[in-house]
Structure 1
Amino acid sequence: MTHATPHTTRSAARSAIRLVFIDVDGTLVGSSGTVHQAVWDAADRLRAAGVHLAVCTGRPGFGITRALATRLDGDAWHVFQNGASIAHLGNGGSRSAGLSDETVAALLAQARATGRALELYSDDGYAVLAGRAEAVERAQRHASLIGEPYQPVDADAFARTPGRVIVRGQWMLAHDELDAVLADPAPRARLVPSLSPLMPETTFVSVLDPQIDKVVGVRTVAEAYGVPLSAVMFAGDGGNDAAAMTAVGEAGGWPVAPANAEPEALERAHDVFAHVDDGGLADALARALATHGNSHGDR
């Protein structure tokens, strides 16, 4: 597969796209922290044609990310936290999955022993544990990025709150700490590294139940709508998008990536559009709309 230009397509024959998943950092949101207006305009046209739009992101489903998902489609299913949190913003439905108590306890012990920045997430809130000054700074910057006040709470108490499900942990690391974290995972956990153009000096590592990933989120939402993966477009730029892109592509759907994507995502993309900072996603959404022709497809 060649990526000589930002418009490389494997096949012109496409099913009408009925559901589009969009990663946030590096795909929807660029280095400015905002979404290009051309992307919003293209999304509005696609939604008006009856196509479902959903974020599929490692970010939590509150704060700025919830506002972005609501702007795409406020009465729809969205995938947050790399597939651990699947929520319907209109009716409050949830199909989320949690970490085991053993995993959460091990993460807290590791954070205390190393001083690294650890976040624990539920569907609607999070707690931070950070020992070193550098870790606290990372946590404060990330709180600003997701649009939440930095208010450290007792992480143990947060995790033990009755009825609260911890759906994901997240390490925030200097790049040279990644190998050490990957070499010592918590029990019953899968580690998923990712990057954000808004915090380029940090490697984020999601801690998930081994059975959970973005593929689960994509399949769950597609089934909720009764849409086959052959009628799905997935737009992503990171290594944590690669498995979902592969699943969509192998089913006959349309995985796409921006020109700024990581190599693993580019390798799985059937089509590469322009850089996120240039509003390239708008072009991908326009091509999804074009699959409907004049009839708006078979819905």
Structure 2
Amino acid sequence: MLALVCIDVDGTLVGTNNEVRDDVWAALEEARAAGIRLVLCSGRPAFGRAREYAERMQPGGWHVFQNGASVVRVDTGESLSSEFPAAELRDLLDAAERSGELLEVYTDAAYASTLRDNYAQEHADLLGVPFPPLWPAELEGTPVRAQWLIRYEQLEAIKAMTPASVDLHPAGSPRMRDTLFVSMTAPGTSKGTAIQRIAQTYGIPLERCMMVGDGENDLQALAVVGHPVAMGNAEPIVKAAARYQVGHVDAGGLLEALALAQQL
């Protein structure tokens, strides 16, 4: 049996209806009772629905949010998060003002948005947080991540407006199919580095860890664990990087991954 299973949210834990299946919750409880530590490993922030998922999945455990920028222990609030570079954040806010594109800025506990458009409202609904969010100038605390919300065909143009020094983690969501979330973190920060940090904290070798994901922002995490798993709905590049493949999220693919973790 493996010691640690890391689980992406959108397209892995959460299906196209933005809900978690009851049988998946039951399987997660069974895996935890068997002694497997469960780690939420999401691009979502450490509040709203993602925080609720983490608290239910592994109370008293470390979890990964914001593509590794937020590493939070949900019972104590301890944080191993990585600060977003201030100069790059200023450049991004200037680019958002010039272009009129939607940019979000996050701390561990809150977020701000440069616009109040339909994209922003739909994303707030997805996250399970009140709308409207703060304006960037109102945001208190240490910024850990920024994020563009764009159409898929805008990716190259957005890359040209983004400081080359930050790390990009593009990802989609089954709930907002036409939206590409281009998350940005401090250099060297990813789901993979966050999992390494948590495994070290728990004293668990990476070869006894599993990552289950479906998006490009899961690639670094899949690369560091001994048992990388791709969902049936995963992007081709993710399937190519995985050692195992399970079913579609809406068909209970995560159930297969959890059963595999208990057999290895």
User: Normalising TM by the smaller chain, what interval?
Assistant: over 0.9
Q: Deviations over 1:3-33 (max 9, x none)?
A: xxxxxxxxxxxxx300000000001111011
Q: Which SS does the other structure have where 2:80 is aligned?
A: coil
Counterpart of 2:213?
236
Q: Which SS does the other structure have where 1:207 is aligned?
A: strand
Counterpart of 1:267?
240
Q: Does 1:64 align with 2:49?
A: yes
CA distance in structure 2 between the partners assigned to 1:203 and 1:284 by the alignment: 26
Counterpart of 1:219?
196
CA distance in structure 2 between the partners assigned to 1:50 and 1:109 by the alignment: 48
Q: Which has the larger radius of gyration?
A: 1
CA distance in structure 2 between the partners assigned to 1:198 and 1:123 by the alignment: 23
Paired amino acid for 1:138: Y
Counterpart of 2:62?
77
Paired amino acid for 1:148: V
Q: Which SS does the other structure have where 1:206 is aligned?
A: strand
Counterpart of 1:195?
172
Q: Which SS does the other structure have where 1:92 is aligned?
A: coil
- The answer to whether the 8 Å contact 2:146/2:183 transfers is yes
Paired amino acid for 1:284: A
Q: Deviations over 1:207-248 (max 9, x none)?
A: 111110111111011011000001001001011111211221
Q: Does 1:277 align with 2:262?
A: no
Match of 1:88 among 73, 83, 93: 73
- The answer to whether the 8 Å contact 1:83/1:215 transfers is yes
Counterpart of 1:148?
129
Counterpart of 2:86?
101
- The answer to whether the 8 Å contact 1:129/1:152 transfers is no
Counterpart of 1:6?
none
CA distance in structure 1 between the partners assigned to 2:24 and 2:255 by the alignment: 4
Q: Which SS does the other structure have where 2:94 is aligned?
A: helix
Match of 1:42 among 27, 31, 35: 27
Paired amino acid for 1:270: R
Note the C-alpha offset of 1:190: 1.7
Q: Deviations over 1:179-211 (max 9, x none)?
A: 101123125312221111110010110011111
Q: Deviations over 1:142-179 (max 9, x none)?
A: 00000111124331242xx4xx1100000000122111
Match of 1:207 among 184, 204, 225: 184
Paired amino acid for 1:273: V
Paired amino acid for 1:46: A
- The answer to whether the 8 Å contact 1:103/1:187 transfers is no
Give the RMSD, CA atoms, in angstroms. 1.2
Q: Which SS does the other structure have where 2:182 is aligned?
A: strand
CA distance in structure 1 between the partners assigned to 2:135 and 2:243 by the alignment: 45
Q: Deviations over 1:116-166 (max 9, x none)?
A: 111000000000102xxxx711011000000111124331242xx4xx110
CA distance in structure 2 between the partners assigned to 1:187 and 1:229 by the alignment: 30
Using CA pairs below 8 Å that are at least 6 residues apart, which structure has the higher relative contact order?
A: 1
- The answer to whether the 8 Å contact 2:101/2:148 transfers is yes
CA distance in structure 1 between the partners assigned to 2:56 and 2:239 by the alignment: 27
Percent identical residues: 41
CA distance in structure 2 between the partners assigned to 1:47 and 1:53 by the alignment: 7
CA distance in structure 2 between the partners assigned to 1:167 and 1:212 by the alignment: 10
Note the C-alpha offset of 1:74: 1.7
**Unpaired segments of 5 or more residues in structure 2?**
none
User: When the two structures are aligned, how many residues end up with a matched partner?
Assistant: 264
CA distance in structure 2 between the partners assigned to 1:196 and 1:157 by the alignment: 28
CA distance in structure 2 between the partners assigned to 1:56 and 1:266 by the alignment: 18
Paired amino acid for 2:79: S
Match of 1:54 among 39, 59, 69: 39
- The answer to whether the 8 Å contact 2:41/2:191 transfers is yes
CA distance in structure 2 between the partners assigned to 1:284 and 1:176 by the alignment: 33
CA distance in structure 2 between the partners assigned to 1:188 and 1:290 by the alignment: 42
Q: Which SS does the other structure have where 2:39 is aligned?
A: strand
Q: Which SS does the other structure have where 1:97 is aligned?
A: coil
Paired amino acid for 1:150: F
Note the C-alpha offset of 1:265: 0.9
**Unpaired segments of 5 or more residues in structure 1?**
1-15, 292-299
